[in-house]
Chains A and B, each alone.
Chain A
Amino acid sequence: MKDYEITIGIECHVQLATRTKLFSEVDNDAREKEPNSCVSPVDYALPGMLPRLNKEAVKMAVIAGHALNSEINLISRFDRKHYYYPDLPKGYQISQLYQPIIGAGYVKLPDGTKVRIEHAHMEEDAGKLSHFAGYSLVDLNRAGTPLIEIVSMPDIHSAAHARDYCKELWRIMTYAGVCFGDLYNGNMRFDVNISLAKPGEPLGTRAEIKNLNSFRSVERAVEYEYKRQSKLLDKDEKVVQETRGWSDDTGETTSQRSKEEAQDYRYMPEPDIPPIHLTKEFVEEQKAKMPKLPEDYREQFKGQIADDTLEILLDYQPLMGKLDELARGDALRGPAGPEPQASGSDGRDSAAGPRASIVKRVANWFASVLLAEEKSAEYLNDLPSAKQLDDLAEMTEKSELSSTGAKEVFLKFFDPQMRNRDAREIAKELNVLQENDAGALEKIVDEVLSDPACAKAVEDYKAGSEKVLGFLVGQVMKASKGKANPAAVQPILKKKLSK
């Protein structure tokens, strides 16, 4: 097999998290609802029905556009895209072909690669079809759900980057609060265009893999297409421009229909929806609502949290919000506590800031303790307070807890019986507080050293065997029932033995 360069462009459909549909005043959240129970005469396309635009959908589109680093087009319009299929009773989809609301922008991938956004437009979703022997059933609950379709430039050149791009879009849209991000229920769907070329030669014919709904299937579909197309090109055969479907079960793409056949959407201006004319103030008002995005957190925590740990945590916006709260530190220690240093927006400052070690500690607990647990998703619904986490990190820093003890307490924050208690209270209950008090430790050390069972070790140490120190520390730990802080025990032992 020869080497080919792969070029990928991705179209992503994002369902907006509005209460009602794009053009009708019915419930937009059809999860666990009966078929056709969230449907209005507008969605049925009954004669004489007038669609009315949902203002909230426009606001969300503006926010989404801003999150994509895009220009917002102050004037945008809707167009009719005609196709005949039972999932769309009107016989056309209301979309934006000529003047979309969101202009050119870009998405930055975790490794810094930029993928340019060509544009993004608003449109309505279609209904859902289920196929049976000899007939199909139509559920129109989803018909009319507001979508934005984000169209990337062909800037992606590997399966891994295709996956990263889709995942980053998912993060951005969910962080921005414009999409619920439930991939299983089709909140985001990806169409992936793939073509190959020999190095230096113009792009080959592309195939489009439609309707992928997981990052993994995007990656696998690209890998499969690379193999399929390169085999054809090796044999000097042609790649057909067509739409292909992906099966997670077989791990293959299959031809659905050839594009040459009849893709003629007969676009025309939508006369029912007057144009959208936004003011700059309206756009700025939406921008002001933008919460921190993944890229903001990357900058903020650069150097504080290891890159790979951060990428794991970035999948969970509530966790990042919690770390942000910890990093800011305000209102955690109360008025009597030490003055917290501002560390919010500028990553470089906060990397060296006094909150950095607290943030790092808590980040590592989340990544290595919580997310390693099977029940992580369930845990994430009810995170401990920043105060609880801050106290725990503080106690650990002061060696009041061993790292093992701290993890035990941390897990109890998610225990329904204990979740509202202070870190110290839980530590006491678990009996994991370390003894640091020099006086108390000296007493235990004296006991151990005077124990006849340790006489030999003491003798060996004095004869120059440093190794036995570990054994003696162990004896002290045992005598303290595990509560002594070994780091504090060692110097005391050394001091006493050198007398």
Chain B
Amino acid sequence: MEITREEIDHLAQLSNFSLEDAEANALGKDLNQIISYISQLDELDTEGVEPTYQVFEMENVWRDDEIKTQEADREALLALAPEQQEHQIKVPKVL
């Protein structure tokens, strides 16, 4: 299965990336390699096999509804954002 340029553009659009031609071509090459590698799995007959959500057989990993003080405070977290203003994360205008 060959991934088309159209599909790369579509994925880029979904992720809000703008790609140069060279980047799109390089990504296309990588993606094709990844997909062909993964495609080996297609040889297996998975008819009637439940999809695997996780491999540890765990369930009900849940916690009590109790507020815990966070080690990372507001300022520390905000400091990770490229830009902030009035204790909020500043981003380019979106609609």
- How far apart are the CA atoms of A131 and B91 in the complex, in Å? 10
- By beta carbon, the residue of chain B nearest A132 is B93
20 A-B pairs, CB-CB below 8 angstroms?
A: A18-B65, A25-B67, A36-B74, A36-B77, A37-B74, A40-B70, A54-B62, A91-B15, A133-B93, A135-B85, A135-B92, A136-B92, A137-B86, A138-B90, A262-B13, A264-B14, A269-B53, A273-B61, A274-B53, A276-B59
- By beta carbon, the residue of chain B nearest A271 is B54
Residues of A within 8 A of B67 (CB): 19-20, 25-27
How far, in Å, is B34 (CB) from chain A's closest CB? 15
- How far apart are the CA atoms of A84 and B18 in the complex, in Å? 13
Q: Is the interface of B mostly helix, strand, loop or mixed?
A: loop
- 1/0 per residue, CB under 8 A from B, across A29-58: the answer is 000001111011100101000001111111
For A82, give its contact among B14, B74, B78 (CB under 8 Å): B14
Given A55-B65, A56-B65, A275-B59, verify A131-B95 contact (CB < 8 Å). yes
- Other CB < 8 Å A-B pairs besides A40-B70, A136-B94, 17 of them? A20-B65, A20-B66, A46-B80, A53-B62, A55-B64, A57-B65, A82-B14, A84-B16, A86-B89, A86-B91, A131-B94, A136-B93, A137-B91, A262-B13, A262-B14, A269-B52, A274-B56
Interface centre among A36, A56, A134 (most CB of B within 10 A): A36
Interface centre among B15, B67, B95 (most CB of A within 10 A): B67
Residues of A within 8 A of B14 (CB): 82-84, 262, 264, 266
Pair B87/A36 contact, Cβ less than 8 Å: yes
Number of CB contacts from chain A to chain B under 8 A: 127
- How far apart are the CA atoms of A270 and B77 in the complex, in Å? 25
Residues of B within 8 A of A44 (CB): 77, 80
A391 within 8 A of B: no
Interface residues on A, range: 35 or more
- By beta carbon, the residue of chain A nearest B94 is A136
In A114-156, the 8 Å CB interface with B consists of: 129-140
Residues of B within 8 A of A46 (CB): 80
Smallest CB-CB A-B distances: 10 pairs: A56-B65, A137-B88, A138-B89, A274-B58, A25-B68, A55-B62, A53-B62, A277-B59, A269-B53, A86-B91
A206 within 8 A of B: no
Residues of B within 8 A of A140 (CB): 89
- By beta carbon, the residue of chain B nearest A39 is B77
- By beta carbon, the residue of chain B nearest A37 is B74
Pair A52/B62 contact, Cβ less than 8 Å: yes
Q: Is the interface of A mostly helix, strand, loop or mixed?
A: loop
- How far apart are the CA atoms of A140 and B15 in the complex, in Å? 20
A85 within 8 A of B: yes
A77 within 8 A of B: yes
- By beta carbon, the residue of chain B nearest A140 is B89
Q: Which residues of B contact A (CB under 8 A)?
A: 10, 13-16, 51-54, 56, 58-68, 70, 72, 74, 77-78, 80, 85-95
Residues of A within 8 A of B77 (CB): 36, 39, 41, 44
Interface centre among B59, B64, B65, B95 (most CB of A within 10 A): B65
How far, in Å, is A496 (CB) from chain B's closest CB? 73
How far, in Å, is B27 (CB) from chain A's closest CB? 16
How far, in Å, is B63 (CB) from chain A's closest CB? 5
For B53, give its contact among A57, A58, A275 (CB under 8 Å): A275
How far, in Å, is B51 (CB) from chain A's closest CB? 6
- How far apart are the CA atoms of A82 and B14 in the complex, in Å? 9
Given A36-B78, A39-B74, A44-B80, verify A52-B90 contact (CB < 8 Å). no
- How far apart are the CA atoms of A25 and B67 in the complex, in Å? 5
In A165-205, the 8 Å CB interface with B consists of: none
- How far apart are the CA atoms of A18 and B62 in the complex, in Å? 14
- How far apart are the CA atoms of A466 and B52 in the complex, in Å? 92
Residues of A within 8 A of B92 (CB): 135-136
- How far apart are the CA atoms of A20 and B64 in the complex, in Å? 9
- How far apart are the CA atoms of A446 and B59 in the complex, in Å? 87
Pair B93/A134 contact, Cβ less than 8 Å: yes
Given A26-B70, A136-B92, A275-B53, verify A52-B61 contact (CB < 8 Å). yes
- How far apart are the CA atoms of A273 and B59 in the complex, in Å? 8
Pair B74/A85 contact, Cβ less than 8 Å: no
For A40, give its contact among B16, B62, B72, B88 (CB under 8 Å): B72
Interface centre among B13, B89, B90 (most CB of A within 10 A): B89
- By beta carbon, the residue of chain A nearest B87 is A35
- By beta carbon, the residue of chain B nearest A137 is B88
- How far apart are the CA atoms of A251 and B33 in the complex, in Å? 53
- How far apart are the CA atoms of A37 and B86 in the complex, in Å? 12
Residues of A within 8 A of B51 (CB): 269
- How far apart are the CA atoms of A413 and B93 in the complex, in Å? 54
Residues of A within 8 A of B70 (CB): 25-26, 39-41
Pair B10/A41 contact, Cβ less than 8 Å: no
How far, in Å, is B92 (CB) from chain A's closest CB? 6
- How far apart are the CA atoms of A40 and B68 in the complex, in Å? 10
Residues of B within 8 A of A269 (CB): 51-54
Residues of A within 8 A of B89 (CB): 36, 86, 137-138, 140
- How far apart are the CA atoms of A200 and B94 in the complex, in Å? 43
Pair B53/A271 contact, Cβ less than 8 Å: yes
- By beta carbon, the residue of chain A nearest B75 is A36
Pair B65/A274 contact, Cβ less than 8 Å: no
How far, in Å, is A256 (CB) from chain B's closest CB? 8
- How far apart are the CA atoms of A44 and B66 in the complex, in Å? 19
- By beta carbon, the residue of chain B nearest A43 is B77
Residues of B within 8 A of A271 (CB): 53-54
